[in-house]
Structure 1
Amino acid sequence: MNEKKILVTGADGFIGSHLVECLVKKGYAVKAFVLYNSFNSWGWLDTLDKTLLKEVEIFQGDVRDPFGVKKAMTGCNKVLHLAALIGIPYSYHSPQNYVETNIQGTLNIVQAAKELNLEKVIHTSTSEVYGTAQYVPIDEKHPLQPQSPYSASKIAADQMALSYYYAFQLPVSIIRPFNTFGPRQSARAVIPTIITQIANGNKAIDLGSLTPTRDFTYVDDTAEAFAKALEADAIIGKTINLGTNFEISISDLVKEIASLMKADIQVTCDEQRLRPNKSEVERLLSNNAMAKNLLNWEPKHQALTGLRAGLQKTIEWFLHKDNQAMYKAGIYNI
């Protein structure tokens, strides 16, 4: 495997950093594309075991820059493209940033891959592209509904990537995770939001809508699926859901986390955390049959018992004082 180098964009992020760990442990040679900044920060990669990190080649750049993207991709055989601007609330008032990063960034990736004749491009989508479920479980044929500028940018990015498969026979695959959670996740996501507020001693937890349901996948399972996608030839030109086929409401999720943390809390509706009415995605529940068939992948954390096991590991990580110090629990992060 060391003869082939894998480029991971968004390697400094939540899922990306876990994926880098996973790939190095499996023996892959990894080049990690991180967002350039004047602080010389490599994001979550800075927290990895130093022995493991020595095995990783770091490239600092910006996916919005086609020249840097092509330079980063030079010498690589395959690319796992995870770099994206995430977060739905921020997309309401800064949509152009999403167009530039998610759509233009993806164009830069596939164009460079075409010019350099890469063996495989794995592009990361999101379950948000489906919008509120029209039927469940949601399979890959479900209609796409852009209920936020963020989801619209991801739909466009997905289609841009697929267009290079149809137009130029570029070996592109789309991996579409449902709601991934675990250590290192941004506090803009609901699970870290709940955990950090409880860990901060809050008795009243500020949240948005409690009625939506989500299909939560533990991050180690998501990373394992991406790793399997590298060696799966049958996925070229296809879109594949990653989920657990289990849904839970935000209201019940709060109860599960509070129980695991032995906390007596109340939930307060914070108006600024509510999405516009037609923008809220009310239900997401995956059909992961294609992932089972084509990736030979099945999440280890399944159903309520699996969710609880993943939540417990996530809570333990967030409760560590060094990790807790990196989060601003008292500030709403859009």
Structure 2
Amino acid sequence: MNQTTANAKILVTGADGFIGSHLTEALVRQGRKVKAFVLYNSFNSWGWLDHCGADIRQNIEVFAGDVRDPNGVKAAMAGCDAVLHLAALIAIPYSYHSPHTYVDTNVNGTLNVLQAARDLGVKRVVHTSTSEVYGTAKFVPITEEHPLQGQSPYSASKIGADQLAYSYYTSFGLPVVTVRPFNTYGPRQSARAVIPTIITQIAKGQRVIKLGAVTPTRDFNYVQDTVRGFIAALDSTQGVGEVVNIGSNFEVSIGETAKLIAETMNTKIDIVTDEVRLRPENSEVNRLWADNAKAARLFGWTPGYGGREGFKRGLAETVAWFTQEDNLREYKADIYNI
């Protein structure tokens, strides 16, 4: 922790989401001052923050708004020294259905965060990218110099957001670093993602598991590793104006992932292809495998759940969470969630 961020007040956008809630918890447990930006709704729901312990909820300042609203973003950021910008729409299938919404949230929302940070003189902005911007790997492991390929409206919107972040560094000197996590998994993840899809189907008694394509490979990142990556990027004095991969440097297919989950859950399964879960052929990202050397060099970050054994350990922790009755009740395993 450097002197700039040790006593900083930190705004976390998307704090109500999967990664954002874990990140908010970790920051609070480190004794940081945190303002949690959650999506406004009439139920006064704080998303996954509602499921955190009272020790967490009582030590965060919550701001309900919408990143698509520049006035709300600037009001939320007032008095903050640093911003961790995670708020985004991320479901790829839904981006085929509603691409305009992805531009509004991911591109214009990021623009609002960047402009507010510039206006308010924020000392460090950590912007969230995604490995999806690389598309199907042209070479592996994928370094930060890999070409960008917008193979879905989601990935295209994130490429646009990343380029805006870079432009605010080159044009205005905004101290922004772009963190590019590969496929994060763990407790609280949406069932639109493949690992929760498999776990929840098995946990609810299904043995014929519906999936999309099983041959693509992914570099899965346990959520606690991703959180440590964000905090390392926040606390470092390096990386301004740069993109940094956060990945495990371990490649595994979706089919093999399903087998490992079944083994973890002591179950035998059969996998069937559900046509509705398949991406359009040219939109499928067939291979992702992260080179994480830059994160180690700049931030001193390495995965705690790396390699096959680390992946199995992360899966076991994820299964343990999802199979708790109160948690499993939150998921509709019989309905395909785009």
TM-score by length of 2: 0.98
CA distance in 1, matches of 2:185, 2:192: 12
Match of 2:144 among 140, 145, 160: 140
Structure 2 residue matching 1:233: 3-state secondary structure: coil
1:38 maps to 42
- Paired AA for residue 214 in structure 1: R
CA distance in 1, matches of 2:141, 2:233: 22
Q: Does 1:198 align with 2:207?
A: no
Shift of 1:2: 6.8
Q: Does 1:89 align with 2:93?
A: yes
1:264-305 CA-partner distances (Å, limit 9, x unpaired): 110010000000000000000000000001110011001110
1:195-230 CA-partner distances (Å, limit 9, x unpaired): 000001001000000000000010001101111111
Shift of 1:3: 3.5
Match of 1:256 among 256, 260, 273: 260
Unaligned runs of 5+ in 2: none
Match of 2:23 among 19, 26, 39: 19
CA distance in 1, matches of 2:267, 2:247: 28
After the TM superposition, list the runs of 4 or more consecutive aligned residues in structure 1 that deviate by more than 2 angstroms.
Answer: none
1:214 maps to 218
Shift of 1:27: 1.5
Unaligned runs of 5+ in 1: none
CA distance in 2, matches of 1:245, 1:228: 18
CA contact (8 A) 1:175 1:241 kept: yes
CA distance in 1, matches of 2:54, 2:272: 41
Structure 2 residue matching 1:222: 3-state secondary structure: helix
Q: Does 1:54 align with 2:49?
A: no
CA contact (8 A) 1:13 1:43 kept: yes
Percent of aligned pairs with the same residue?
Answer: 61
- Paired AA for residue 164 in structure 2: M
Shift of 1:4: 1.6
CA distance in 2, matches of 1:72, 1:157: 20
CA distance in 1, matches of 2:15, 2:105: 15
CA distance in 1, matches of 2:53, 2:311: 26
2:241 maps to 237
1:164-186 CA-partner distances (Å, limit 9, x unpaired): 00000000110000000000000
What is the root-mean-square deviation in Å for CA atoms of aligned residues?
0.7
Structure 2 residue matching 1:235: 3-state secondary structure: coil
1:310 maps to 314
CA distance in 2, matches of 1:51, 1:129: 37
Counting only pairs closer than 5 Å after superposition, residues 110-189 of structure 1 correspond to structure 2 as 110-189=114-193
Q: Does 1:66 align with 2:70?
A: yes
Corresponding residue pairs, total: 334
TM-score by length of 1: 0.99
